[in-house]
Amino acid sequence: MATESTQVGPLPSSSVTVTGAKDRTTREDATTGVDRTARNFRAAPLVAVVAGLLGAGLAIITPFLPVKQTTAQLNWPQNGVFHSVEAPLIGYVATDLNITIPCQAAAGLAGPANTGKTVLLSTVPKQAPKAVDRGLLIERANDDLVLVVRNTPVVVAPLREVLGPACQRLTFTAHADKVTGEFVGLRQGPHADHPGAPLRGERGGYDFRPQIVGVFTDLSGPAPPGLQLSATIDTRYSSAPTQLKMAAMVLGVVLTITALIALHILDRADGIRHRRFLPARWWSISGLDVLVTAVLVWWQFVGANTADDGYILTMARVSEHAGYMANYYRWFGTPEAPFGWYYDLLALWAHVTTASIWMRLPTLLMALTCWWMISREVIPRLGHAVKQSRAAAWTAAGMFLAFWLPLNNGLRPEPIIALGILLTWCSVERAVATSRLLPVAIACIIGALTLFSGPTGIASIGALLVAIGPLRTIVHRRSKRFGALPLLAPILAAVTVTTILIFRDQTFAGELQANMLKRAVGPSLSWFDEHIRYERLFMASPDGSVARRFAVLALLVALAVSVAMALRKGRIPGTAAGPSRRIVGITIISFLAMMFTPTKWTHHFGVFAGLASSLGALAAVAVTATAMRSRRNRTMFAALVLFVMALSFASVNGWWYVSNFGVPWSNAFPEWKFGFTTALLGLTVLVLLVAAWFHFVNNGSGREPRSRLARITQSPLAIAAWLLVFFEVMSLTLGMTDQYPAWSVGRSNLQALTGRTCGLANDVLVEQDPNAGALTPIGMPVKDALGGGYAEGFDPNGIPADVSADPVMERPGDRSFLNDDGLITSSEAGTEGGTTAAPGINGSRARLPYNLDASRTPVLGSWRSGVQVPAVLRSAWYRLPPRDQAGPLLVVSAAGRFDPGEVKLEWADDKGAAAGKPGGTVNFVDVGAAPAWRNLRAPMSALPNSTTQIRVVATDDDLAPQHWIALTPPRMPRLRSLQDVVGSRDPVLLDWLVGLAFPCQRPFDHRNGVIEAPKWRILPDRFGAEANSPVMDNNGGGPLGITELLVRATTLPSYLKDDWFRDWGALQELTPYYPDATPARLDLGSATRSGLWSPGPLRH
């Protein structure tokens, strides 16, 4: 390591002429500065080595340092009595479970007086449909006392022997490898495998640990001595750093900063002073900047959001109470780490408000930063031709917006990854341009943070890989003076320091097991499944919408043109070869890196926003007349862009969930007089013919066009990108205006500025008691009025026992998410039908939906087995309330499969009704899922003000067996807003699609391995419910696997204000199977655990 020389290179400042004393003073100051600098250079290498290696070492050992874990034990009985308690474990099972029950405790199940008491102890309510399949039950069955775990009997004894003097106690233990049960004191009978042996059972070879949602019993009164259940709750992720770990982390960060300062001093050894970090042009604003900013700001209000925004927002909201960032909707409550640090920032941001407009403000700031980086850093580095080209700037802006608007306007990590890739590349380019290594270290830190922002952050490694050659040259040149270690040690510290952030409160073993579980449970697709992402891109769905498809295809076109031109001419004329090649290389590496992400969704393409903009600028220069002289080739490029537009418009203008409300062509290919895709394809053919004419007649000379119009037409990619941006912005703006006064994303965000921040909750109207809105029949009793006018072929029991809804969709790959029945349907809870033991008011045994009271609500249906006959129903007249007291809607609950117009409403005034002459007809609108029960709607605004009576008419003249109609009488719902019904205090299960639309509802909490039992569930529309419910089910370790064992769900009728025919979603009321059960009291403690400690495997 050379330290003798005091020559530090040329002076950084511009030349200055001095004379006399001033000259001597200057020379003396310079000599003093050189001596001081020499001393710095002698110390800096040692500091860089020591601080860098120690900082890296501390970062590397951070995952293995001890943490302080909060332990939790569930002990029962509590307060010394038989009383059910709720303790739904987020991990489903306990680490271990031990139960001891005195045999005489079973006396409460014996005798005629206790016929209804069957369960001595269970970990799931016996009423739950999957109780036996997943839980533990100790119950009386056929005069035996049976211990069943996951539908497997472990040990069985006759109840009379259990109550006999020989039986002492029943014991049970459960561990990951086996479960055992024994009736201590009893022996196996003479016909058993081992006569006379202790009555003991064991099951192994599978993880039989039962799922625990509480401890439930049918018994009451004081608990006998010796009765005990003890479950060790898995709280391996409820941990905090110990003082030792905290000290190591703080010291590691300080040493890393010290090493980077030392590296900066070594960088300055060349004596060259470089331009300031942010040049003056950073702060000058152009018209294009104003336009891009205006589009982004307006899109912040009216723009569509991404599918996972509710998922991420709910995780962030709950994390503070939970103590760590758990994956709330899947994977048994395991942490999001190593990809959770960005969500932790959102959790802090949510302290102000959870309104969408606020939560997405960081995304807007990232978008503006990205554009500032592109226009101020990226474009100038790509070469003089790119910097001076207006076409390049406009293409870059259009491509950036074409990516950002449909892909990055939410809470997903793609925006910060897109920004991170740009910052990493710019840091690397600064390192190459200045021959300094501190920017490399900064790039490593930014790249690591980008990598751990989300799985798609893997694309950031490309920014470092493409510059390995130039960076190696810099290190080699610098190492001749200082050696390699002082230069590389700080970079090593920079690479590893992010580990401190990732493992700050978690352990290596915990995160390793969490990620192994995620891979096992899935979805975890392999690199060779990457084609699925592109298949989705070409589906007519929000994943393959016009906007998303164009963005990706335009990027591929820009990439192809840039690569082709570089291969043909060595580089694109007028561009800087190194930066241009590196930006192309980053993009190619990013596409390859995306293959290794475990899921294959099109929203991941959002990470390319900055790269697409940069490549767009290169492509714009590549197709100018100066670079591409052939007029034929330029025309062929225009045809290619038109073809990309045609291919893009061969899809729906669809957006996720509520963002789709009111948007034109949201469920159809865009058209106006004719299909856009057809017209664009026709234009493509015409342009190809023009290219052929140029080929054979006049191929041009490559002169730059002089007129403004000619120059504009020389930028087809810019024109296409801005047309798509205009199409997207206008689509969502029209969606808002067309919906008004009904709810829309844009209206909700604008209203948030006035303090109305509860989103959809104020506009969803709930019918809490459907029985209260029943209309009064005229001239006959309620039980006869439904068929009082005329009824043929309709019968009180003309309804099949099962009316579960048909599935809306079943896509490739969904089989891994299927429930135990092998099918996911869109039936709302309580609408699947069934039968009751007692007949209703008109003799029907059909189970009615929505808590309709069968003793007050008649029902008639046209379903029958065997020979089918036509059926007709005309009800009696029902009295409407006065208009000033009337609600906005008339509703009939119906089931079956029927066509529009086969169920309709006839209206009349009193005179017309008395004469049997209706004044007109209004068709009910069916927005539900056939053949399940749903609410047909007719708005009161469709009836004249003179209307005083209505009746229902139904016609079933289709003799297909699957075509039938079932109806209840008409009613006028009494409505309250969802915000009033649910409020902001009750714990709610917010499905992950709806979280951002309902920011005022409180998601249920979890802490110390136990979740809070929710009282409500809010679902998205049928399509969304089918898509997201399997993600949250038992197979994936989500909350539905818990709630379906703990509560009974009942759908409440609900409607979207002023948009009555919209399927907005559903509200379910969750009623505990054991209403008197109380939340369990946990016995908490603490323990110090090493980074390699594990309490056992995670069950999945």
pLDDT digits (tens, 9 = 90+) for 648-657: 999 999 999 9
pLDDT digits (tens, 9 = 90+) for 783-794: 999 988 888 999
pLDDT of residue 111: 78
- Torsion angle, CA of 608/613/616/618, rounded to 10 degrees? -100
How far is Cα of residue 685 from the mean position of the Cα atoms in its chain?
41
pLDDT of residue 563 exceeding 70:
yes
How far, in Å, CA of 620 to CA of 637, rounded? 11
pLDDT of residue 275 exceeding 80:
no
What integer is the mean pLDDT of 707-722? Answer: 76
462: confidence class by pLDDT, cuts 50, 70, 90: confident
CA proximity to 391, closest of 725, 720, 712 = 712
Considering only 360-374, 827-841, 918-932, 971-985, which range has the smallest mean pLDDT? Answer: 827-841
88: confidence class by pLDDT, cuts 50, 70, 90: very high
pLDDT of residue 267: 84
What integer is the mean pLDDT of 34-60? Answer: 81
- SS3 assignment for 254-283: HHHHHHHHHHHHHHHHHCCCCCCCCCHHHH
pLDDT of residue 101: 93
Query: Buried (b) or exposed (e) across 549-581, using 16+ Cβ within 10 A?
Result: bbbbbbbebbbebbbebbeeeebbbbbbebbbb
pLDDT of residue 196 exceeding 60:
yes
Average pLDDT over all residues of the chain: 88
Residue 374: count other Cβ atoms within 10 Å of its Cβ: 26
Q: At what angle do helices 20-61 and 243-267 cross, to 10 degrees?
A: 150
Question: Do the beta carbons of residue 166 and residue 86 sit within 8 Å?
Answer: no
pLDDT of residue 699: 61
Considering only 210-219, 587-596, 619-628, 924-933, which range has the smallest mean pLDDT? Answer: 619-628
pLDDT digits (tens, 9 = 90+) for 114-126: 777 889 999 999 9
361: confidence class by pLDDT, cuts 50, 70, 90: very high
In CATH terms, is domain 774-973 a member of 2.60.120.940?
yes
pLDDT of residue 274: 62
pLDDT of residue 34: 47
pLDDT digits (tens, 9 = 90+) for 1051-1091: 999 999 999 999 999 999 999 999 999 999 999 999 999 99
pLDDT of residue 771 exceeding 80:
yes
What integer is the mean pLDDT of 32-54? Answer: 74
Strands 987-990 and 1002-1003: parallel
Q: Which amino acid is at 1024?
A: G
pLDDT of residue 602: 94
For the chain, which residues make up each domain, given as ranges?
70-84+94-233, 243-273+292-731, 774-973, 978-1073
How far, in Å, CA of 949 to CA of 936, rounded? 18
In CATH terms, is domain 70-84+94-233 a member of 3.40.50.2000?
no
Q: Which amino acid is at 196?
A: G
What integer is the mean pLDDT of 370-399? Answer: 92
Q: For residue 136, give the DSSP letter.
A: E
pLDDT of residue 873: 94
pLDDT of residue 932 exceeding 80:
yes
For 16, residues 6+ apart whose C-beta sits below 8 A from its C-beta are none
What percent of the chain stands above pLDDT 70?
A: 92
819: confidence class by pLDDT, cuts 50, 70, 90: very low
pLDDT of residue 457 exceeding 90:
no
567: confidence class by pLDDT, cuts 50, 70, 90: confident
Phi, psi for 492 (deg, rounded to 5): -60, -40
Instruction: Return the structure tokens found at 253.
Output: 């960060």
pLDDT of residue 83: 93
CA proximity to 609, closest of 374, 434, 928 = 374
Higher pLDDT, 548 or 38: 548
Q: Which residue has the tokens 């209307």?
A: 947
What integer is the mean pLDDT of 892-902? Answer: 92
What integer is the mean pLDDT of 714-719? Answer: 88
Fold of 978-1073: D-Maltodextrin-Binding Protein; domain 2 (3.40.190)
Q: What is the secondary structure of 24-50 as a DSSP string?
A: HHHHHHHHHHHHHHHHHHHHHHHHHHH
Strands 1016-1019 and 987-990: parallel
Instruction: Return the structure tokens found at 752.
Output: 């948030």
Question: Do the beta carbons of residue 851 and residue 831 sit within 8 Å?
Answer: no
pLDDT of residue 9: 37
Q: For residue 946, give the DSSP letter.
A: T
Q: One fold for both 774-973 and 978-1073?
A: no
Question: Do the beta carbons of residue 331 and residue 599 sit within 8 Å?
Answer: no
pLDDT of residue 10: 35
pLDDT of residue 748: 94
What integer is the mean pLDDT of 260-283? Answer: 77
For 999, residues 6+ apart whose C-beta sits below 8 A from its C-beta are 313, 353, 354, 355, 356, 359, 757, 758, 759
How far, in Å, CA of 1027 to CA of 824, rounded? 9
For 468, residues 6+ apart whose C-beta sits below 8 A from its C-beta are none
pLDDT of residue 517 exceeding 50:
yes
Considering only 13-22, 328-337, 949-958, 983-992, which range has the smallest mean pLDDT? Answer: 13-22
